[in-house]
Amino acid sequence: MNRRNLIKMGAVQAALAAVPSGASLAASQQPAHPQPGSSTDTITLRNPAFDLELHPGAQLHCRVLHRASGALLADSPYSYSCKPTALTVALKTASSVTLRGTTETGLVLEHLFAIDPAGSWIDEQVTLSNSSAVPVDLSDARFGFVLPVSVPAGKVSSPWSRHIFTAIPFRREPNGSQTQFTDISLTQLLTEPFSSELWTSETSVTPAFASEGWAATDGVHGLLFSKYSPAGLEFALLDRVTLPGNQIGLRWGGAGIYRNVPEHGAWLQPGESHQFGVSRLTAFTGDMKQGFYAFRSEMEQRGHGCPVEFNPPVHWNELYDNKLYWLPGDEQDNAEMRKTYYALDDMRTEAAKAKQIGCEALYMDPGWDTNFGSKIWDESRLGSYKSFTTMLAQDYGLKSSLHTPLSGWCNPASYPLEAHRIDRYGRRLMRGPEDGFWQSPLCGASQQYVTETAARLKVLAAGGAAYFMFDGTAYHGECWDPNHGHRVPGRLEEHVRATCALARMVHAEYPNVLIEMHDPIMGGDRKRAVPIYYGHGTGPKDQPFAQAAGFDTVWAFELMWMPMQDLLSGRAIALYYYDLAYSLPLYIHIDLRTDNSNALVFWWNASTCRHLGIGGTHTDPAVRQAQKDGMAQYRRLKRYFAAGVFYGIDEQTHVHSSRDGRSAVMNCFNLDPDPVEREIRFDPARLGLSAQKSYRFSGGAFRQVGSAYLGKVFIAGHGHTLIEIS
């Protein structure tokens, strides 16, 4: 029952959605500025970063100028896969305009363009309404600005050809390696398909390049393309359209259906509307990292950041030393095996380990409930939960944290039959004798499942739980039960919404319980099919418990089983790029049995995951001592790692600055086997610290040179050096 194989064995692969490449753009042969009388009056929105000119008419001609470089980002009719008739102005203010038009099939299109008058961004948002009497298929929908690009002799000719487009937050995918980077040239965008392992178990190829954001920069002038859609699964898409005259168009912004999502926008019933998320273009100055920081700042402004006083308990995970989990097959759910390996005395032993190394909570993985995934505390083996949490606090000074897997990975026996999925033939799905827990027949979007699960979690919260892990979130297939309270059929997006709603249902009554969320489609895997922010914070107004907070932390992509191998192979470098892009906390627990005497595994994960869990007793006393010493240092400096501001000097040099800009800690890593003396340039103003202060360095010799500090730091092979800056 290995979580690493969960998706390979049970998840349903999403179908690849084709993106149209032949949108009608014949009008691109017209002059860049339409002649007087050929359209309605020009609408201009301007801020310090961009000029946006809109020429409504038979087609919407758009011109976007990047003011700092003087280069155009769009100069062509806007690309609509469902072509509206003449767009007219529905609403106009000093900083926005909404255009409205209809299509021959009865779609009403509203297109909002807005700017930050004093800032550096342009937003747009598309809303479609079906005014016809029949459903409308929008599975190939794609809208976007178009930048015509000449291709003389097969070579791209554009001022933007020097820019590299980098995926945010997954420049390095969690399945990647030391040489894998999602850095794309304009030539590749215009001539190649997109390859990725984020969505499937194998490398897949799509016509559009998809990411939460794209940072494009030549090192001086930068552009951030992002998509924000808390009500639907969407991504920032970059693709191309064919143009006359030996030209090709880079299409960006707007909206589009990608891998069949957002599902609610791919099929509109009569009278139904769908509002796509906001596409934003932001200007920044500098290198790729500045683009990541710009993305992070925007997500923080939208409420997806790290709380100022974030102080989660450091976990000790009993799983790594517990023989129960490592039994073959599904024996970990065998009642006799649970009595043998998961009794109260076993948990006392693990609590003593947690206290000894300096942890703050005992995290209990599979084994504490009546059967796997029931989320009902087994009093017959462990006593009442209230007495257990009281014992942990009084005897060991620990909080209680629990593994609470959801519908995608559990024993469904404790749930009513009415919560099972029905297939399109009307058959109720059941768990077969050979099925593993990853093949659960439960419908995670059913009211029967969601209501019962929320009730069970609240009982645990009332008993003193400090933390829930929402593992087992994987989507396994559609459901046709008309009594479940979801669309019929209920598909992937219904499942994701219900999974995120569970966190809000708990937080509505127990706001202080920390909730971690695995990917709501992929579950426990190194994949990421859902945007990081989706389900975090308050929800869309039309969804249940919208005013309650969603999950608190994000699962660190299953990098828990072989953390040393994950790090040295380059897979765990994905955590570094995540931290450049998000301050929304990551959570991980790691197997310390894979660590070395430099505590490299411990420190890497402490540096990249704001909520840390550890477990596993190493056989080497020297390694155990290094880990214990590391924990003492970590606890002393925890405010920097848990709630500070993360900056990257490079992939192996991380800075955690205090929020008041007066101090920091720096983690210096060496992922090579030989020791190294590395020269580091520390520029306070670029690392969240006040430029008006002078600084002292503990752990390395630094000298001030102008506004920065230069120092040489010795780092052991496969090692770590900690520098304190005050």
Sheet of 247-256, strands arranged across: 79-80, 142-150, 247-256, 236-243, 209-211
Is residue 262 scored above 50 in pLDDT? yes
What was the pLDDT predicted at 25? 24
Q: Are 306 and 514 in contact (CB under 8 A)?
A: no
Q: Are 182 and 250 in contact (CB under 8 A)?
A: no
* Alpha carbons 172 and 176: distance in angstroms, whole number: 6
Is residue 259 scored above 90 in pLDDT? yes
Lowest-confidence range among 175-179, 491-495, 596-600? 175-179
* Domain topology for 314-555: TIM Barrel (3.20.20)
What was the pLDDT predicted at 666? 98
- Assign 187 a pLDDT band (cuts: 50, 70, 90): very high
- Owner of token pair 């869990």: 613
Percent of the chain past pLDDT 70, that is, above it, reads: 94
- Return left, alpha or beta for 544; rule: phi > 0 is left, psi -120 to 50 is alpha, else beta: beta
Reported as a single tens digit per residue, the pLDDT across 24-52 is 222 222 334 433 333 458 999 999 999 99
CATH architecture, domain 37-301: Distorted Sandwich (2.70)
- For the structural domain made of 647-725, what CATH number should be given? 2.60.40
Higher pLDDT, 476 or 201: 476
Most confident segment among 147-151, 327-331, 609-613: 609-613
- Assign 541 a pLDDT band (cuts: 50, 70, 90): confident
Reported as a single tens digit per residue, the pLDDT across 504-530 is 999 999 999 999 999 999 999 999 999
* Alpha carbons 297 and 73: distance in angstroms, whole number: 23
> Under 8 Å CB-to-CB from 160, ≥6 apart: which residues?
71, 73, 147, 186, 216, 250
Convert 562-585 into a string of H (helix), E (strand) and C (coil).
CHHHHHHHCCCHHHHHHHHHCCCC
- Report in angstroms the alpha-carbon separations of 425 from 421, 444, 478, 576: 11, 19, 12, 47
Is residue 555 scored above 70 in pLDDT? yes
Higher pLDDT, 13 or 707: 707
- Both tokens assigned to 623: 């390694």
- Assign 2 a pLDDT band (cuts: 50, 70, 90): very low
Residues forming CATH 3.20.20 domain(s) in the chain: 314-555
Closest among 259, 253, 185, 252 to 216, alpha carbons compared: 185
Reported as a single tens digit per residue, the pLDDT across 632-666 is 999 999 999 999 999 999 999 999 999 999 999 99
Strand-pair category, 164-168 with 399-403: unpaired
What was the pLDDT predicted at 40? 57
Reported as a single tens digit per residue, the pLDDT across 49-65 is 999 999 998 899 999 99
Residue environment code for 205-222, b if the CB has 16+ CB neighbours within 10 A, otherwise e: ebbbbbbbbbbbbeeebb
Reported as a single tens digit per residue, the pLDDT across 99-137 is 999 998 899 999 999 999 999 999 999 999 999 999 999
Q: Are 615 and 602 in contact (CB under 8 A)?
A: no
Is residue 16 scored above 70 in pLDDT? no
Residues forming CATH 2.70.98.10 domain(s) in the chain: 37-301
> Under 8 Å CB-to-CB from 300, ≥6 apart: which residues?
583
For 412, phi then psi, to 5°, come to -80, 0
